[in-house]
């Protein structure tokens, strides 16, 4: 009966048992050519897999305006180049919308048209056009001038204070006479008042449509919910079609290459290394295809949610990176550990050292030894149970009668 929890012992091949580091069947030129084959195969393979994505019909992207009405926490990820448009400042919404909303009306996808987005964007665009001159005046003229005047008032006020101190000290030639400085402050205060009044008038014009725009934005947010869902379903179906085409193209060749590799490996063929490079290329392409599909399916969303959640708390974010450090130790260190465990398995070490005529315990040359190592005293020979002649301990066959002894 099959038991999945039963520990199985590894069967070590006696033809290539020790992963011998010094044995090199392929010359350096062959290794270089194989590396070139691997790089070229991977390069053309990646482009071939990417080109397959043009076979299914990719759903048309939503307009750039769409992602402004995406609810916070939505599982639909906006394109990277649109992230800067999300959650604009209250004042900047007019500048962004006055340029983009009008363009979006001519670039709506079929999902947005069917979802009734166009009339709402048209209403918003009309309101934006009404307040666009006021916003531009406020942004380009009033606010920069007001900042400049307030800076000058602060500077001249400091000079006026110094001038008063000079008068109290009865300085004959003061650096900052109070009379002209006081006149400048009066003029700047009057200019500041005019600019503040102008700012108030412009902001009143903006506020007159702000509530209307917010009402339309709320309607757009609600209208975009089914649009996002429909577009997401179409996008997931497209990604599955691409994944299926890539998978079906790769898996037969990967299976045949892997089968040939195992066959040549069992025969200890010198051509195994060629098929190894082919299996590596196909394996990387297959792994990339599977991981990219799962990444788009749910892994990216889970990661984004976790990052957003951890970013809210400094302690959890620090712990995340802290455990990430140990996870990297576990993954890469563990991989090297299991590789070293196989290469330096005691049975493989014994076989390698006997092949080199060395003691399996201390590596002393055994040409002059009998039953025991002359250096460490390790027992290296024993009587064969079948023919009675001496055989090496740890080796599977008797050199005299061929009797096999399982280790």
- Which band of pLDDT confidence, cut at 50, 70 and 90, is reported for residue 299? low
Tens of pLDDT, residue by residue over 345-364, are 777 777 777 777 777 777 77
Judgement on whether residues 263 and 392 belong to the same structural domain of the protein: no
Report the C-alpha gap between 244 and 248 in whole angstroms.
6
Task: Look at the chain and report how many structural domains it folds into.
Answer: 2
Report the C-alpha gap between 168 and 174 in whole angstroms.
11
Report if residue 339 sits inside a domain.
no
Torsion of CA 341, 347, 352, 356, to 10 degrees: 140
Report if residue 329 sits inside a domain.
no
Judgement on whether residues 240 and 296 belong to the same structural domain of the protein: yes
Domain range enclosing 262: 44-312
Judgement on whether residues 67 and 140 belong to the same structural domain of the protein: yes
- Which band of pLDDT confidence, cut at 50, 70 and 90, is reported for residue 302? low
Give the per-residue pLDDT at 88.
36
- Of 235, 226, 218, the C-alpha closest to 116 is 226
Report if residue 283 sits inside a domain.
yes
Give the per-residue pLDDT at 21.
44
Q: Are 70 and 87 in contact (CB under 8 A)?
A: no
The separation between the first and the last C-alpha atoms of the chain, rounded to the nearest angstrom, is 25
Rg (CA), the chain: 39
Give the per-residue pLDDT at 216.
86
* Cβ burial, residue 94 (10 Å; 0-12/13-18/19+): buried
Report if residue 14 sits inside a domain.
no
In terms of pLDDT, which residue wins out, 121 or 394?
A: 121
Judgement on whether residues 264 and 406 belong to the same structural domain of the protein: no
Which pair of tokens denotes residue 91?
């004042």
Give the orientation angle of helix 92-105 with respect to helix 117-137, to 10 degrees: 140
Judgement on whether residues 358 and 240 belong to the same structural domain of the protein: no
What DSSP assignment string belongs to 68-80? GGPPTT-SSPPPG
Judgement on whether residues 127 and 242 belong to the same structural domain of the protein: yes
- Which band of pLDDT confidence, cut at 50, 70 and 90, is reported for residue 72? low
Give the per-residue pLDDT at 1.
42
Of 295, 312, 329, which closes a domain?
A: 312
Report if residue 327 sits inside a domain.
no
Report if residue 27 sits inside a domain.
no
- The dihedral region occupied by 402, where left means phi > 0, alpha psi between -120 and 50, and beta the remainder, is left
Judgement on whether residues 99 and 194 belong to the same structural domain of the protein: yes
Judge whether residue 39 has pLDDT over 70.
Answer: yes
Give the per-residue pLDDT at 20.
46
Q: Are 200 and 161 in contact (CB under 8 A)?
A: no
Report if residue 92 sits inside a domain.
yes
Least confident of 50-59, 234-243, 389-398: 389-398
Report the C-alpha gap between 171 and 322 in whole angstroms.
66
Q: Are 239 and 132 in contact (CB under 8 A)?
A: no
- Of 318, 293, 320, 327, the C-alpha closest to 306 is 320
Mean pLDDT of 191-197: 90
Q: Are 56 and 295 in contact (CB under 8 A)?
A: no
Judgement on whether residues 373 and 260 belong to the same structural domain of the protein: no
Report if residue 20 sits inside a domain.
no
**Mean pLDDT taken over the chain:** 76
Give the per-residue pLDDT at 44.
92
31 SS3 class: helix
CA 156 to chain centre: 54
Judgement on whether residues 233 and 90 belong to the same structural domain of the protein: yes
* pTM assigned to the model: 0.55
Alpha helices in 89-177 (DSSP H): 92-105, 110-114, 117-137, 143-168
Tens of pLDDT, residue by residue over 73-104, are 454 444 433 333 333 333 344 544 444 577 77
Q: Is the dihedral of CA 110, 112, 118, 121 positive or negative?
A: negative
Judgement on whether residues 51 and 186 belong to the same structural domain of the protein: yes
Judgement on whether residues 154 and 271 belong to the same structural domain of the protein: yes
Of 259, 291, 312, which closes a domain?
A: 312
Residue that the structure tokens 């394109």 belong to: 79
**What percentage of the chain carries pLDDT values higher than 90?**
8
Report the C-alpha gap between 202 and 194 in whole angstroms.
12
Q: Are 405 and 398 in contact (CB under 8 A)?
A: yes
Judgement on whether residues 106 and 162 belong to the same structural domain of the protein: yes
% helix, strand, coil for the chain, step of 5? 70, 5, 30
Q: Are 134 and 205 in contact (CB under 8 A)?
A: yes
């Amino acid at each position: 009966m099959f038991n999945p929890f039963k520990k199985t012992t590894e069967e070590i091949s006696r033809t290539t048992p020790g992963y011998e580091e010094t044995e090199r069947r392929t010359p350096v030129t062959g290794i270089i050519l194989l590396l070139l084959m691997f790089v070229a195969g991977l390069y053309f393979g990646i482009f071939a897999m990417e080109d397959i994505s043009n076979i299914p019909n990719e759903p048309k992207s939503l307009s750039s305006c769409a992602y402004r009405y995406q609810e916070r926490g939505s599982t639909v990820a906006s394109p990277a180049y649109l992230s800067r448009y999300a959650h604009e400042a209250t004042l900047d919404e007019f500048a962004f919308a006055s340029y983009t909303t009008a363009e979006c009306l001519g670039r709506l996808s079929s999902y947005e048209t069917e979802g009734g987005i166009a009339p709402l964007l048209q209403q918003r665009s009309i309101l934006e056009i009404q307040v666009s001159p006021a916003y531009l005046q406020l942004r380009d003229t009033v606010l920069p001038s007001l900042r400049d005047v307030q800076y000058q008032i602060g500077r001249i006020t400091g000079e006026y204070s110094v001038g008063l101190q000079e008068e109290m000290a009865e300085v004959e030639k003061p650096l900052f006479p109070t009379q002209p400085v006081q006149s400048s402050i009066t003029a700047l205060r009057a200019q500041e008042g005019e600019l503040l009044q102008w700012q108030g008038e412009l902001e009143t014009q903006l506020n007159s449509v702000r509530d209307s725009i917010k009402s339309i934005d709320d309607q757009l947010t609600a209208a975009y919910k089914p649009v996002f869902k429909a577009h997401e379903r179409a996008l997931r179906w497209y990604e599955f079609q691409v994944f299926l085409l890539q998978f079906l193209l790769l898996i037969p060749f990967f299976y045949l290459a892997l089968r040939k590799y195992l066959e040549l490996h069992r025969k200890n063929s010198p051509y195994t290394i060629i098929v190894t490079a082919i299996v590596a290329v196909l394996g990387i392409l297959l792994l990339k295809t599977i991981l990219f599909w799962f990444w788009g399916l749910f892994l990216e969303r889970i990661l984004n949610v976790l990052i957003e959640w951890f970013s809210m708390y400094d302690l959890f974010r620090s712990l995340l990176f802290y455990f990430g450090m140990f996870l990297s130790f576990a993954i890469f260190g563990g991989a090297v550990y299991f590789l070293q465990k196989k290469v330096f398995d005691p049975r493989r070490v014994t076989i390698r050292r006997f092949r080199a005529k060395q003691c399996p315990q201390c590596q002393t040359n055994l040409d002059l030894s009998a039953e025991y190592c002359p250096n460490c005293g390790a027992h290296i020979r024993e009587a064969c149970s079948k023919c009675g002649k001496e055989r090496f301990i740890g080796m599977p066959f008797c050199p005299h009668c061929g009797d096999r002894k399982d280790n």
